[in-house]
Amino acid sequence: MTSIRRWLLAALLAALAVAGLAAAAATYFSARDEVDTLLDEELRQVALSLRDHAVLDLRRLESVAANPDQRVLVQIWDPAFDRPYVSRIVGDGPMPRTEEGYVTLVHAGRSWRAFALYTGRQLIQVAQPTALRTELAARTAWRLLMPVLVLLPFLGLAGWWIVGRGLAPLGRITSAVKERSPTALTPVPSDGLPQEIRPLADSLNDLLARLDQSFSLQRRFAADAAHELRTPLTALNLQVQLAERAQGDEDRARAFERLRQGIRRATRLVQQLLTMARLDPDAAAAPPAAVEVGTLVSSVVDEARTTARERSVELACRDTSGGATVSGSEDALRILFNNVVDNAVRYTPPGGRVSVACQRDGDNVQVAIEDTGPGIPEEERDRVFDRFYRGRSAAGSGTGLGLAIVSQVAEMHRGRVALETAPAGGLRVLVRLPVLAAESASTH
Amino acid sequence: MRILLVEDDSMIGESVSEGLKAEGYAVDWVRDGQEAEVSIAATPYSLVVLDLGLPRRDGIDVLKGLRERHVDVPVLVMTARDTVRDRIKGLDAGADDYLVKPFDLDELTARARALIRRAAGRSEPVIERGALIINPATREVTWQGTAVALSAREYALLAALAERPGLVLSRAQLEEKLYGWNESVGSNAVEVHIHNVRKKLGDGVIRNVRGLGYTLASE
């Protein structure tokens, strides 16, 4: 596992070391230049001062043994002598004669910087090992580099502590998240967080808030569902007891028929609950497909024909939508139209009529389902879309979920459901769904 | 003994109504709060069985309204709201007892008996009127030491007369206690039942009070 702390520290120390070395190198080269100028001048001065002593009498001068303390080597050539005077003996013989001016040469296995000056018949040479210059420059560079090297371990310790301090808010968030239980979705404290970590805390809190909302929706749905299941269970419980104490075949048959109705109703409620749970927006994972509304509505109407015949309800369907398609889930839309058509057929008294019309209306497909049933009073029309709301006129076996499902599916498809009074006095349900974008563009 | 059942769910309403009728009660069944108020104002009930989640007018409001008008009919609340707070709210609004859905028919009828008994000012579960002993829980009737088998209506007739000592009930009052709204009542139905009871228990058990109606023979 990578550690930000270790990485930061290593990178910082390495950068510091590189910077120190670079500075030392730069210092070395510039110091070397200065030392060159300075010592060259020194060589010249020595040579000039020797010349100014007029003609040197080489007989009075004596060579001395090599003395390392002597910074310069002086060599004087005179035509009167076959050997030059040397200030100290270095190597096997004298340094060769050179042209007047500065020169760098190798003598006795070492590199020398020499200055030569002609005075009439004598040649004065002043020389110095170049190693001296390198040493001086290196010493200057070292003086600069040494404190950096000494400070590095201390900087390392300080850096370890400082980076640790800087990362402390991360640790606080981690422990705040670690300590919470899966159901406690309160936001983590984001006050006083540095601006680098604040976005993390904020987006974490945003996620927590959305989770909390979705959890409480689920919880409310589960609570509502459990509550709603009580009604059919109560009915079943009572119906079983009546069946148990029924006397005579006729009573018993009636009790069992009621029991069957009760079971049908509980089953239907459970199915609707499942449908509702599957329609949950988060669960809608399937990619949207193109659905031809007219064809879908016709097939839903065909399925309802048996029930309609049993109830002696006339069922008609007209499709003038011209194959208009919407984008969405065919299964969900089938559930929508199934619910509306089924409701219309069930609430229409025998001899009544249910008519379904599907047509194109601008950028929408509009499906109108009309019946000749009792309708829904105007004051109840908003509430019937609420989950588990059951209208006053609703016959016993409704689950209170049908229209909630209808409006949820319509919303999923960015459509609308409206309730109106049909011309014949019953209910008219208007479902409007926007047609596929590509298709609506091509018609304009 | 006439009971008002207020329940908007048709399956539950039908079953409870049937169960209570089988116990010999006359049952009127309404489906919303407004109808409940109208019925209670018009008819003297021995008991109101009230669902709380009602259309048009909430059960709790109906209950509060009753108690404000000093109607002291016993009220048995049946509801799916089962938190302690809901129960306290219901009882404080004037309910006499509380039944949480789903419940047993037997429990409902037992609680109904207890409430009716309490409202009549009795604490013992068995009614004794001289040689007549009535057990509302088992609907067994003993006359002079021997058990007598009675039909539901005959039992209801005896139980109505035995509700308080010395109670005199007119034919119309008896009719009201024995039959719900939807039941067709023959013009001499009450007399027929009285005749049958006298045949089974002896003429002396029910006495005519001239101009007033009927009462149980004392001793």
How high is the pLDDT of residue A54? 53
Would you say residue A37 has pLDDT above 90?
yes
Domain count, chain B: 2
| Phi, psi angle pair for A425, to nearest 5° | 100, -15
Nearest to A120 by CA among A75, A56, A72: A56
Question: What CATH number is associated with residue B178?
Answer: 1.10.10.10
- Given B77, B101, B119, the domain boundary residue is B119
Average pLDDT over all residues of chain A: 83
Would you say residue B218 has pLDDT above 50?
yes
The residues, ordered by sequence, that sit 6+ positions from A418 with a Cβ below 8 Å of its Cβ are: A429, A430, A432
Cα separation, A426 vs A375, whole angstroms = 5
Average the pLDDT over A394-401 and give the result: 59
Would you say residue B22 has pLDDT above 90?
no
Distance from A400 to chain B by nearest Cα, in Å?
A: 12
How many secondary structure helices (H) and strands (E) does chain A include?
A: 8, 12
How high is the pLDDT of residue A444? 47
Would you say residue A87 has pLDDT above 50?
yes
Would you say residue B81 has pLDDT above 80?
no
Q: Is the dihedral of CA A342, A348, A354, A356 positive or negative?
A: negative
Nearest to A86 by CA among A72, A101, A102: A72
Question: What CATH number is associated with residue B73?
Answer: 3.40.50.2300
How high is the pLDDT of residue A60? 59
Contact B16/A at CB under 8 A: yes
Cα separation, A429 vs B102, whole angstroms = 35
Same domain as B84, residue B46:
yes
Same domain as B111, residue B155:
no
pTM: 0.58
Q: What is the CB neighbour count within 10 angstroms for residue A31?
A: 19
pLDDT digits (tens, 9 = 90+) for A321-372: 888 888 888 888 888 898 899 888 888 899 999 999 999 888 889 999 999 8
Which residue type, as a one-letter code, is found at position B3?
Answer: I
Of B11, B56, B104, the CB nearest to A235: B11
The residues, ordered by sequence, that sit 6+ positions from A175 with a Cβ below 8 Å of its Cβ are: none
Q: What is the CB neighbour count within 10 angstroms for residue A132?
A: 14
Cα separation, A49 vs A43, whole angstroms = 10
The pLDDT > 70 percentage for chain A reads: 89
How high is the pLDDT of residue A392? 55
Same domain as B113, residue B12:
yes
Q: Is B56 helix (H, G, I), strand (E, B) or coil?
A: coil
The residues, ordered by sequence, that sit 6+ positions from A231 with a Cβ below 8 Å of its Cβ are: B9, B12, B80, B101
Same domain as B75, residue B31:
yes
Chain B residues touching residue A239 (CB < 8 angstroms): 11, 15
Confidence bin at A25 (pLDDT 50/70/90): very high
**To 10 degrees, the CA torsion angle through B101, B104, B107, B109?**
100
Same domain as B148, residue B46:
no
Question: Contact A234/B102, CB-based, under 8 Å?
Answer: yes
Question: Contact A234/B12, CB-based, under 8 Å?
Answer: yes
Same domain as B83, residue B169:
no
Same domain as B6, residue B76:
yes
Distance from B214 to chain A by nearest Cα, in Å?
A: 32
Would you say residue A69 has pLDDT above 60?
no
- Given B64, B97, B119, the domain boundary residue is B119
pLDDT digits (tens, 9 = 90+) for A257-286: 989 988 988 888 888 788 777 776 655 556
The pLDDT > 90 percentage for chain B reads: 20
Chain B residues touching residue A233 (CB < 8 angstroms): 101-102
pLDDT digits (tens, 9 = 90+) for B116-135: 888 887 777 788 888 888 88
| B145: containing domain | 127-216
How high is the pLDDT of residue A116? 92
Q: Rounded to 5 degrees, what angle do the CA atoms A374, A349, A306 make?
A: 125
Chain B residues touching residue A242 (CB < 8 angstroms): 15, 18-19, 22, 105
Question: Contact B80/A231, CB-based, under 8 Å?
Answer: yes
Chain A residues touching residue B12 (CB < 8 angstroms): 231, 234-235, 238
Same domain as B93, residue B45:
yes
Of B8, B11, B106, the CB nearest to A261: B11
Chain A residues touching residue B56 (CB < 8 angstroms): 392
pLDDT digits (tens, 9 = 90+) for B143-184: 888 888 888 888 888 888 888 888 888 888 888 888 877 777
Residue A324 contacts residue A292 (beta carbons within 8 Å): yes
How high is the pLDDT of residue A367? 93
Query: A195: which DSSP letter?
Result: T
Residue found under tokens 């015949």: A309
Question: Contact B80/A234, CB-based, under 8 Å?
Answer: yes
Residue B209 contacts residue B215 (beta carbons within 8 Å): yes
Nearest to B161 by CA among B197, B199, B210: B197
Q: Are strands B97-100 and B75-79 parallel, antiparallel or unpaired?
A: parallel
Q: What is the CB neighbour count within 10 angstroms for residue B65?
A: 17
pLDDT digits (tens, 9 = 90+) for A203-244: 888 888 888 888 887 787 787 777 778 888 888 999 999 888
How high is the pLDDT of residue A1? 65
Residue A434 tokens, joined: 């926007």
Half-sphere exposure of A86 (CA within 13 A, CB side): 19
Half-sphere exposure of A362 (CA within 13 A, CB side): 3
- Given B119, B137, B154, the domain boundary residue is B119
Confidence bin at B15 (pLDDT 50/70/90): very high
CB neighbour burial string for A42-53, b if at least 16 within 10 angstroms, e if fewer? ebeebbeebbee
Same domain as B94, residue B71:
yes
Same domain as B102, residue B81:
yes
Same domain as B209, residue B146:
yes
Same domain as B192, residue B95:
no
Q: Is A197 helix (H, G, I), strand (E, B) or coil?
A: coil
- Those of residues 22-51 in B touching chain A at CB distance below 8 A are 22, 32
pLDDT digits (tens, 9 = 90+) for A125-174: 899 888 888 999 999 999 988 988 898 889 889 988 998 888 888 888 88
Of A231, A241, A258, the CB nearest to B14: A258
